[in-house]
A and B are shown apart, each in its own frame.
Chain A
Amino acid sequence: MNLKFLLPVAIFAAIALAFAVGLTLDAQRLPSVLIDKLAPQFELPPIAAIDDGEDSGEDTGKPYGGGLSSRNLVGRVTLVNIFASWCVPCRVEHPQLMSLSRDHGITIFGINQKDTPQDARAWLARHDDPYRAIGADSTGRVSIDWGVYGVPETFVMDATGRIRYRHVGPIMPRDVTRTLLPLIAELGS
């Protein structure tokens, strides 16, 4: 039996398969090289106090005293969230962060990227504050050490301070239920 006629069919099938895989890949989702590695060493100052001559008591009332350092990440499963007041998708994910922190008792640390203290404080006062502690990355240099290329990004850290998962872009409600909560439960057990 001559199967030569199958050759064009086979070539077509191969090309169709290549396109089917290639076109459904999301080029925006880049793998992090830091997965399963220790978080980069860093020491970030807190969001600076605003010295506008008025009583600072009218701020959110939250102490932003300590800033954030890589030492804070050890001891329990945590989330590290890169955010900024100028970042529109951060508003989209904010309710999910509030819910994770409030309803599920998950420790979330914030890295406030390239923000002014005024804007950052105003943003937190308006939208509420899900963070246990916040470091101000005014130059964006620490974000680069984390391999961050857009805001928001969120990292799931295990209790030893290793990066186990990276979420690029805003956290949507289904990301919480499908990915984050199961992973955090798994890492915590």
Chain B
Amino acid sequence: MKVVLETLRVAPTALKVVPTIFLVVLFMFLALGLGTERAGAVEPSEVLSDPLLEARAREISQGLRCLVCQNQTIDDSNAGLAKDLRILVRERLLAGDSNQQVVTFVTDRYGDFVLLKPPLKTGTVLLWFGPLLILLFGGVALARFYINRHRQEKAESSGAKPLSGAEKKRLQSLLTEDAVKDTVEGNSP
């Protein structure tokens, strides 16, 4: 709780950059939006006459990896295998498969690697939550850094505590000791 309050107190400085961040994020999403209406690599001869089925085929294809190029979807790729898989997806749909059944049909043969969005399993927990873990770690480190700096600044601006009696005495003795030494050595100003 204390940590949260302290973080909030340093927040006003951070708030100044919020409009900039907002604009950057906005432009990123706009850039994404421009790319959504792609024709893909689907050839006219492959397209199903039923627009609903075709839409489902496109949706499924965009989640399946082309194993030849590995970083394109089968919807985007011109590779022979991608074309075969596009046709296969449409055939399964025509045969009455649900989207999930079609995807299972493909993963039964090519494994989870064919899915561009990996499923949540014990083996993929780190993949899914690793970034969150790193964000958390970085956030804690950042918060600690700002809190420490804030404390330091507060200590400096509020001024140091006045010296106690014992401290004054010790300071005085140190100063006179130095002065005596200086006089003896002839360095006195």
Number of interface residues of B (CB under 8 A): 14
- Chain B interface mostly helix, strand, loop or mixed? helix
Distance A24 CA – B70 CA, assembled complex (angstroms): 17
B48 proximal to A (CB < 8 A): no
B88-A33 in contact (CB<8A): no
Distance A168 CA – B108 CA, assembled complex (angstroms): 18
Distance A114 CA – B85 CA, assembled complex (angstroms): 15
Distance A114 CA – B81 CA, assembled complex (angstroms): 11
Instruction: Select the stretch in B15-23, B29-37, B109-117 that faces chain A.
Output: B109-117
B84 proximal to A (CB < 8 A): yes
Q: Which of A139, A140, A144, A150 makes the CB contact (< 8 A) with B68?
A: A150
B110-A140 in contact (CB<8A): no
A33-B84 in contact (CB<8A): no
Which residues from B are CB-within-8-Å of A140? Answer: 80-81, 84
Which residues from A are CB-within-8-Å of B109? Answer: 33-34, 144-147
Q: Which of A30, A33, A139, A145 makes the CB contact (< 8 A) with B67?
A: A30
A114-B67 in contact (CB<8A): no
Which residues from A are CB-within-8-Å of B110? Answer: 30, 33, 147, 149
Distance A165 CA – B70 CA, assembled complex (angstroms): 22
Q: What is the CB-to-nearest-CB distance from B131 to chain A, in angstroms, rounded to a whole number?
A: 14
A31 proximal to B (CB < 8 A): yes
Show the binding face of B for A, using Cβ within 8 Å: 67-68, 70, 80-81, 84-85, 88, 107-111, 113
List 26 A-B pairs, Cβ < 8 Å: A27-B70, A28-B70, A30-B110, A30-B113, A31-B111, A33-B107, A33-B108, A33-B109, A33-B110, A33-B111, A34-B109, A114-B80, A139-B84, A140-B81, A140-B84, A141-B88, A144-B81, A144-B85, A144-B109, A145-B109, A147-B109, A147-B110, A149-B67, A149-B68, A149-B110, A150-B67
Task: Contacts A141-B88, A144-B109 known; list 15 others, CB within 8 Å.
Answer: A27-B70, A28-B70, A31-B111, A32-B111, A33-B107, A33-B109, A139-B84, A144-B85, A144-B88, A145-B109, A147-B110, A147-B111, A149-B67, A150-B67, A150-B68
